[in-house]
C-alpha cells in the first residue's frame, strides 16, 4: 500500500487514528500473524566518545557513573539470554573505543560457535573494515539510527559528526550482507512535521530490514534538558505509517515508548510493531544506561521476570515468539543518495 505525502501528513496530524492503526495492525498480522519476536539486549558499556546534545551518555556528562562489562561478564549475559529461550542477542553501547575491534569480533565468534543465536550489533559508526571483521566473525544484523533527515538539526544535535558519514555506514553494512536497521527520533528539537514526512519517505526508500522510532525525551543532564518532549501519539502514528509502507520490516516497540507513556510498548504493538527487546543488562548497572529518563527503570525485564514481557504481549492480543525472527525481506535494495 502506498501513501502520498499529503496522506502521510494528514495521518501524522491525527486525521483518522482509528483507521490508520487498524490498517497497520491488519498488515502486521497478514505478514507476521500474531507473533511478537523477542530480542535480548545487553548494554555492555555506557561510555561514549560522542557529545550529542540529547543523550545522557554524552561525553561531557560528568554526573553519570560509568561502567564497562568484562568479556566474561558479556559471555555470562549471553548465556542467560540463550537459557531464556530467546534466539537473538542485541549488543549495544555508547561509541566506546575501549573495546578493540578484534576483541568484539572474538566475543561474536565465541557466541556464534557456542550458541545457535542471531547476533545484532548497535555499536555506532565504524570503518568498513571493522564492519567486515564483525560480519566475518558471525554478526547477523546492525542497527544505526539516522535520528533525523534534517541535516541542519542533525549537525546541531550531534556536534562533530557528519550526517553523510552515518548514511555511508548503512551502505557499508548492506554491501557486507548484514540485515540493516535504522530509524528516527520523533520530536528531535528543531524537527518539523515536514521533516518527519521526509524521514518516513527516506527510510522507506531504503527497504530496511528493521525500522525503529522513539519519542525524544529530554534528559536533565544534557543541553536539551529544557526542550519539549516528542509526542507519544505522533510516534504511534509513525509506527503505523512505517508498517503500512514497510510491511516486511521488523519494527520494535521500544523502551522509550514505555518511558513516555504507561503501557507504551503495548500500544506500540497494537499499531504495527512486532518486536520487544527486554534488557539483560545486569540489574546492578542497568539504570546507568541512562540515555533518556526512565530508560531501564520501568523496563526491568530480565531472565528472572521475563514473564512480565510475555504477559504484556499476550494482553496486547499477540503471541510470544522465541524464533530468530529474520526479516522476510531478503534484499534491502539500499541506495545512498548523493
> In the prediction, which pLDDT does 209 show?
97
Q: Does 298 score more than 50 pLDDT?
A: no
Q: Which of 80, 124, 68 is nearest to 101 (CA)?
A: 124
pLDDT tens sequence across 128-177: 999 999 999 999 999 999 999 999 999 999 999 999 999 999 999 999 99
Q: Does 179 score more than 80 pLDDT?
A: yes
**What is the average pLDDT score of the chain?**
92
Q: How far is CA 265 from CA 87, 161, 165, in A?
A: 20, 31, 31
List the Cα angle 75/59/156 in 5-degree steps.
120
Q: Does 336 score more than 70 pLDDT?
A: no
Rounded average pLDDT over 203-215: 96
Q: Does 333 score more than 80 pLDDT?
A: no
Contact at 8 Å (CB) between 217 and 230? yes
Q: Does 269 score more than 60 pLDDT?
A: yes
Model confidence at 63, pLDDT cuts 50, 70, 90, reads very high
pTM flag (> 0.75): yes
Residues of the chain by 3-state class (helix, strand, coil), percent to 5: 40, 15, 45
Q: Left, alpha or beta for 261 (phi > 0: left; psi -120 to 50: alpha)?
A: beta
pLDDT tens sequence across 89-112: 999 999 999 999 999 999 999 999
What is the β-pairing status of strands 40-45 and 88-93? parallel
CATH 1.20.1250.20 fits 5-321, yes or no: no
Q: Which is it for the CA torsion 316, 319, 323, 325, positive or negative?
A: negative
Question: Where in the chain are the domains?
Answer: 5-321
Q: Does 35 score more than 90 pLDDT?
A: yes
Q: Does 321 score more than 90 pLDDT?
A: yes
Q: How far is CA 83 from CA 15, 133, 200, 222, in A?
A: 45, 27, 37, 38
Amino acid at each position: 500500500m502506498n501513501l502520498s505525502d499529503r496522506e502521510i501528513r494528514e495521518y501524522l496530524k491525527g486525521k483518522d487514528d482509528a483507521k490508520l492503526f487498524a490498517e497497520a495492525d491488519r498488515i502486521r498480522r497478514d505478514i507476521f500473524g500474531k507473533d511478537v519476536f523477542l530480542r535480548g539486549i545487553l548494554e555492555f558499556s555506557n561510555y561514549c566518545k560522542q557529545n550529542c546534545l540529547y543523550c545522557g551518555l554524552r561525553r561531557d556528562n560528568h554526573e553519570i557513573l560509568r561502567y564497562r562489562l568484562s568479556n566474561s561478564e558479556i559471555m555470562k549475559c549471553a548465556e542467560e539470554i540463550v537459557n531464556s529461550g530467546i534466539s537473538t542477542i542485541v549488543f549495544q553501547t555508547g561509541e566506546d573505543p575501549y573495546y578493540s575491534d578484534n576483541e568484539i569480533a572474538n566475543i561474536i565468534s565465541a557466541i556464534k560457535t557456542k550458541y545457535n543465536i542471531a547476533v545484532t550489533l548497535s555499536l555506532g559508526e565504524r570503518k568498513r573494515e571493522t564492519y567486515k571483521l564483525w560480519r566475518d566473525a558471525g554478526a547477523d544484523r546492525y542497527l544505526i539510527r539516522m535520528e533525523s533527515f534534517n541535516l541542519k538539526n542533525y549537525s546541531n544535535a550531534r556536534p562533530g559528526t557528519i550526517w553523510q558519514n552515518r548514511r555511508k555506514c548503512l551502505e557499508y553494512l548492506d554491501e557486507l550482507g548484514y540485515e540493516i536497521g535504522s530509524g528516527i527520533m520523533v520530536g528531535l528539537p528543531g524537527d518539523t512535521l515536514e521533516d518527519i514526512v521526509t524521514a518516513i519517505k527516506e527510510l522507506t526508500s531504503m527497504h530496511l530490514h528493521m525500522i525503529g522510532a522513539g519519542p525524544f525525551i529530554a534528559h536533565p543532564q544534557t543541553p536539551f534538558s529544557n526542550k519539549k518532549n516528542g509526542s507519544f501519539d505522533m510516534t504511534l502514528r509513525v509506527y503505523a505509517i512505517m508498517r503500512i509502507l514497510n510491511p516486511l520490516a521488523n519494527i520494535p516497540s521500544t523502551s522509550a515508548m514505555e518511558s513516555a507513556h504507561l503501557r507504551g510498548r503495548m500500544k506500540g504493538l497494537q499499531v504495527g510493531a512486532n518486536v520487544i527487546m527486554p534488557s539483560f543488562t545486569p540489574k546492578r548497572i542497568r539504570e546507568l544506561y541512562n540515555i533518556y529518563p526512565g530508560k531501564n527503570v520501568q523496563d526491568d525485564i530480565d531472565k528472572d521476570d521475563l514473564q512480565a514481557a510475555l504477559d504484556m504481549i499476550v494482553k496486547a492480543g499477540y503471541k510470544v515468539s522465541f524464533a530468530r525472527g529474520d526479516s522476510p525481506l531478503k534484499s534491502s535494495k539500499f541506495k545512498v543518495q548523493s
